[in-house]
Amino acid sequence: MVRAQGGILLLLLRILLCSVFPETNIASGIGSLVYGNKPDAAASALFSCYHAQHIPDPITMGAYLRGIPSRSLRMHRIWWSKHRHRLALSIFTHSDLDRLKSLERQCRGYPGGLITVAVWVPIIAEATTPPAPGQKPQSGYNLTAAQSAMLANATNTVDRFYTTFESPAINSSANGSSYPHTCILRIVLVYELVANDIMAALMPLNILRNTAMLMATTPLVAMVDADMLFNWGLAAKVLMNTSRVVMMEHKAMRELTVWVIPIFDTNTTRSIPERVSLAEEAVADGRNPKAKLLDMWHKRGDVYPYGMYGYTLGHGPTNYEIWSNTSSDYNVTYQTGYEPFFIVARRVLHR
């Protein structure tokens, strides 16, 4: 995978709200377009689980620093593709409205696979009027007209994004086959009441990732960032190889194996448009895509292993030297500080 843009991975410690999720409900396989008031089993389970945990107190910096997870998130709408996904691996990720452009590239690079996304909209709570003497304080929080309008606008933005990929006749069977040309999307829009503009800049990454994960229904899952592009061969070769997928599922379930995803960054001295096109070049199909990628790294200096010139512990143990010289599996030894992206059995994450 190649990052189109750099970005600091903030590992914010906010924990999972819905840790016990009824898997039977979500594993229905056949999705449907779900809106707030017409949910199918999966989405309605998600909604009720989430909202049972909801407390409408805006998250504050103090609570955040004490490691108290935000409980002021609310699901606003779920979009659940009607199309069937074809690959055993779901990708789950978090996004805000600005990252949808990156997500669009990611979705085009993962045809037939499921990508589940939690899109975050922070809402800065207005100060409430203190209760009159002798009266109990009002519980709950009502959005102001301006906040409701902003949320409606955000919903439209996500809806437009989703519809581009969902329109079935044109996009899924353009050439007479029913194989999708893009990914299959499940998106949830969540908003979070926050106390101030500092908190409005701190995306609750772990909660959002976990929320997105709850919509993944395949045996294998991988958490990635929205600005990562997948190599063409992931969907077209690795996940199309039935014996490989059977082996991966087996090892993931029985031996708790995870598969580390080598990740590259584009050269940060280049302009953003240039970096986007380098990333697209690096992941494209070709005669020998891996040789091309190595060429872009060693000869052209266009890409290099992620974190190679920064936090080397983060991805160092992946060992890009060995990866460069082999096409076989090899073992990676965990070291403190290692934070790779990886493919894992969904059931293992649900434990």
* Cβ proximity to ligand NAG, 244 vs 347, nearer residue: 244
Helix (H, G, I), strand (E, B) or coil at 146: helix
CB of 18 to ligand NAG, least distance (A): 25
CB of 254 to ligand NAG, least distance (A): 13
CB of 168 to ligand NAG, least distance (A): 9
Sheet containing 264-266, strands listed edge to edge, beginning at the edge strand earlier in sequence = 228-229, 2-3, 264-266, 303-305
Contact between 331 and ligand NAG per CB under 6 A: yes
The residue sitting closest to ligand NAG, measured at its beta carbon, is: 301
Contact between 301 and ligand NAG per CB under 6 A: yes
* Cβ proximity to ligand NAG, 62 vs 176, nearer residue: 176
* Cβ proximity to ligand NAG, 65 vs 243, nearer residue: 243
Contact 217, 23 (CB under 8 A): no
CB of 325 to ligand NAG, least distance (A): 4
Contact between 140 and ligand NAG per CB under 6 A: yes
Q: Which residues pair with 92 in a beta bridge?
A: 116, 223
Residue whose entry in the numeric block shows the structure tokens 């082999």: 326
Residue from 135, 145, 201, 269 touching ligand NAG (CB under 6 A): that is: 269
Residue from 25, 48, 267, 277 touching ligand NAG (CB under 6 A): that is: 267
Q: Which listed range, 116-124, 137-145, 215-223, 339-347, lies at the site for ligand NAG (CB under 6 A)?
A: 137-145
Residue from 271, 325, 333, 335 touching ligand NAG (CB under 6 A): that is: 325
Q: Which listed range, 86-94, 135-143, 187-195, 225-233, lies at the site for ligand NAG (CB under 6 A)?
A: 135-143
What ranges in the chain are assigned the alpha helix state H?
23-26, 41-52, 61-65, 100-108, 145-166, 168-172, 205-213, 232-236, 242-254, 272-283, 289-298, 312-315, 320-325, 346-350
CA gap 119, 209 in Å, rounded: 10
CA gap 158, 298 in Å, rounded: 39
CA gap 213, 319 in Å, rounded: 28
Two structure tokens written together for 351: 């434990």
Report CA Rg, the chain: 21
Q: Which listed range, 5-13, 223-231, 241-249, 281-289, lies at the site for ligand NAG (CB under 6 A)?
A: 241-249
Binding footprint of ligand NAG, residue count (CB under 6 A): 34
Contact 236, 285 (CB under 8 A): yes
CA gap 340, 316 in Å, rounded: 9
Short-list 235, 189, 195, CA closest to 87: 235
Residue from 127, 136, 197, 243 touching ligand NAG (CB under 6 A): that is: 243
* Chain residues 151-210 in contact with ligand NAG, contact rule CB under 6 A: 153, 157, 164-165, 167, 170-171, 175-177, 179, 181-182
Q: Which listed range, 13-21, 68-76, 147-155, 185-193, lies at the site for ligand NAG (CB under 6 A)?
A: 147-155
* Cβ proximity to ligand NAG, 19 vs 312, nearer residue: 312
CA gap 151, 35 in Å, rounded: 15
CA gap 93, 224 in Å, rounded: 6
Q: Which residues bind ligand NAG (CB under 6 A)?
A: 138, 140-142, 149-150, 153, 157, 164-165, 167, 170-171, 175-177, 179, 181-182, 241, 243-244, 247, 267, 269, 301, 304, 321-322, 324-325, 329-331
